[in-house]
Structure 1
Amino acid sequence: MIFAALPQAAGAKTICTIVLDAGSSDVLHEKGECDRRATPASTFKVALALIGFDAGYLKDAQSPVLPFKEGYVDWAGKEWRQDTTPARWMRYSVVWYSQQIAKALGAQRISGDLQKIGFGNADISGDKGYNNGLERAWIASSLEISPREQVVYLSRMLRYELPVSAEAVDLTKSIVQIDQGQGGWTVHGKTGLAFPRNADRSFNRSRGFGWYVGWAEKGGRQVVFARLIQDEKRQKTTPSTRAKASLLKDLDGLTR
C-alpha cells in the first residue's frame, strides 16, 4: 500500500486518510481511525471564513485589512507581523487574524454556526478554567473534529448545502490555497498544525498533529479529502507539511 512509502512513516502515524466524491459523497478511499476527533488547528480557518463571510465581518479576499499590533501572537515571524487581509490570513495561516475574527463574532455566533455546519463538537469554550476560547479553542484545546466530519462538511459546502450564503461559500473558496497534485489534480487545501499540552501546559513537540484537508478537481471530477497524522517523536519538518506533501503525492492513486 501507499502508506508504507510515506515520508512520515518513520516516527509518525497516519491516523486517517479519507477521500469522498464531492457530488455523491461516496467514499473513494478510507484507511485508519476516520471517526477519531482531534484538534482542527488551522483547518478551522476554512469554517471560520465561511462564518465570517456569512456574517459580513469578512468582506472579500482583500478586506478587512487588519494591522498587526504588539502583543499579537507572531510564532511565524515576519509574515505575521504585518497588515493582513483574508487572502493573506489563509495563505500564511495567521493565528492572530483568526483571533480577531473570533472576538468580533463572539463565541455564541461561532459555536451556533459550527453546530449548523456540522464542524465537530462545536466547542468554543477553550482550555478549562482559562476563558481563552476565542483565542485558542481550535489549537489543541476544546474544539475537535474527525477526518470524516471534515470531508462531510466540505462536500456539503461544495454542493452549497450549508446554511450559509452562496456568496460566503464562493468567497471562502477564493482564498483557499491552490496546489498541483500528481496526476493532474488541482488541489485546494488547508494545513493544520498543533501540539498537545503536557501536564505543565508546555507544548509536547514530539506528538504534533498534522492535517491537510480540502478538495481537488480534474477532468470534471471533484473529490474531497482529509489526511491526519500524529508524530510519535520530534521531526525535522512539521507534521502538517508532511501531511500535505504526502497527500499531494498520493491523491491520484486514492481516487481510482
Structure 2
Amino acid sequence: MIASSASAEPALKELHAESLFHGVPGTIVIKNLKTDKIYTYNRVRSTMRFTPESTFKVPNALIGLEEHAVEDEYEVKRWDGVVREFDVWNRDHSLASAMRQSAIWYYQALARDIGPERMQSNLARIHYGNEDISGGIDQFWLNSSLNISALEQVHFIEELVEESLPFSEQTMRTVKRMMIDSEEDDYTLHGKTGTRLSDLGLGWYIGYVDTDHADWVFATNVDSSGTTAKAITLECLERLDII
C-alpha cells in the first residue's frame, strides 16, 4: 500500500509515492468521484502547466465529433504516404484507431478540419488549460503554446465521466468508449498517454477507472515518456486497491 496523510484540506490526501517515480520528477493526482477525495503526489507540480501532447486527442475528438468535422469513431482518413516515427501510424486510420495507436497525423488533420475559430471557441467553453492555440492549428498541443496542469486534467476528465461537458451525450459516450484501455471483471480502465516525442522529456497518462463502487479519475505527468507515466499510474492504482 501507498501511505497517505491528510493535508489542511480534508478532501486532499498526500500520497507518499516517491518509490514509484524512481527519482524522476513527476506528479500524480487521483480523485474518487464518489467521495470527492483527492490523492496527490508532488502537489506543487500538480498545479504546474505542461503541454498536453497526445492526451489532447481526448478534447480534440470531442470537439471534432461535436462540430461534425468527423461523423463518428469509424470515419477513416487515408494515410498520406509520409513515413512517420512508428510503423503503426503509416496506414489508414479511423478516429478510434488513431486514438488507440496515438497516430498524431490523424488528429492534426482533424484539428485543421475543425479550424482555429471553432477550436478556440470550444477550448474556451471547456476551460481547457491556458486555451492558447497560437502555436498553430495542427501543432499547438505538441510542445507548443497550449498548457494544462495535472489537476486541470483531472477536472476535465471528471466532467467527461459525469457527462457535464458542453457536448452531446452521444459525443461524450463515444469518446469514453474510445478511451477503453482494458476491461476486467471488476473494473474498466479508460486512459490516454502522451509523450513529447522531440526529447521524451515529458510523459502523461490521464483517464479514469470505472468500478462497482466508484469512479476514480487520474492524471500523471513525469519527466519521461507516456509509457513511464502509465506504468507509474497503474502501480499506484494497484497499491491503492483501486484495480
The TM tier, using the shorter chain, reads 0.7 to 0.9
Output one character per residue of 1:137-156: Cα deviation in whole Å (capped at 9) or x when no partner: 11100011000110101111
Offset, 1:186: 2.4
Give 1:246 deviation, angstroms.
1.6
Number of residue equivalences: 226
Distance 1:114 1:86 in 2: 19
The match for 1:17 among 10, 17, 28 is: 28
Question: What does residue 234 of structure 2 align with?
Answer: 248
Q: Which amino acid aligns with 1:19?
A: I
Distance 2:129 2:186 in 1: 31
Counterpart for residue 95 of structure 2 = 86
Deviation at 1:254, TM superposition (A): 4.1
Matches within 5 A, 1:94-133: 94-126=103-135, 133=136
Question: Which of the pair has the greater relative contact order for Cα pairs under 8 Å at 6+ separation?
Answer: 1
3-state SS of 1:134 partner: coil
Amino acid of the structure 1 residue aligned with 2:95: P
Quick one: percent identity of the two aligned structures?
A: 32
Displaced runs of 4+ in structure 1, greater than 3 A?
Answer: 252-256
1:227 aligns with 2:213: no
Alignment partner of 1:189: what SS?
A: strand
- 1:28, 1:254 within 8 Å by CA — same for their partners in 2? no
SS at match of 1:150: helix
Specify the alignment match of 1:144 in structure 2.
147
Query: 156, 159, 177: which is aligned to 1:156?
Result: 159
Mark the runs of 5 or more structure 2 residues left unpaired by the alignment: 3-15
Contact 1:120 1:146 in 2 (8 A): yes
The alignment partner of 2:195 has SS state of: strand
Q: Indicate whether 1:215 and 2:208 are aligned.
A: yes
In the TM superposition, 1:180-195 aligns within 5 A as 185-194=187-196
Which residue matches 1:75?
85
Q: Which residue of the partner structure matches residue 19 of structure 2?
A: 5
The yes-or-no answer on 1:43 pairing with 2:55 is yes
Cα 1:53–1:22 change in 2 (3 A) is: farther
Query: What residue is the counterpart of 2:12 in the other structure?
Result: none
Alignment CA distance shift 1:255-1:51 (3 Å): farther
Q: What CA RMSD, in Å, does the superposition of the two structures yield over aligned residues? A: 2.1
Q: What's the TM-score, normalizing by structure 2? A: 0.86
Distance 1:31 1:66, change over 3 A: same
**Rounded Cα–Cα distance in structure 1 between residues aligned with 2:194 and 2:88:** 17
TM-score (norm. length: structure 1) = 0.82
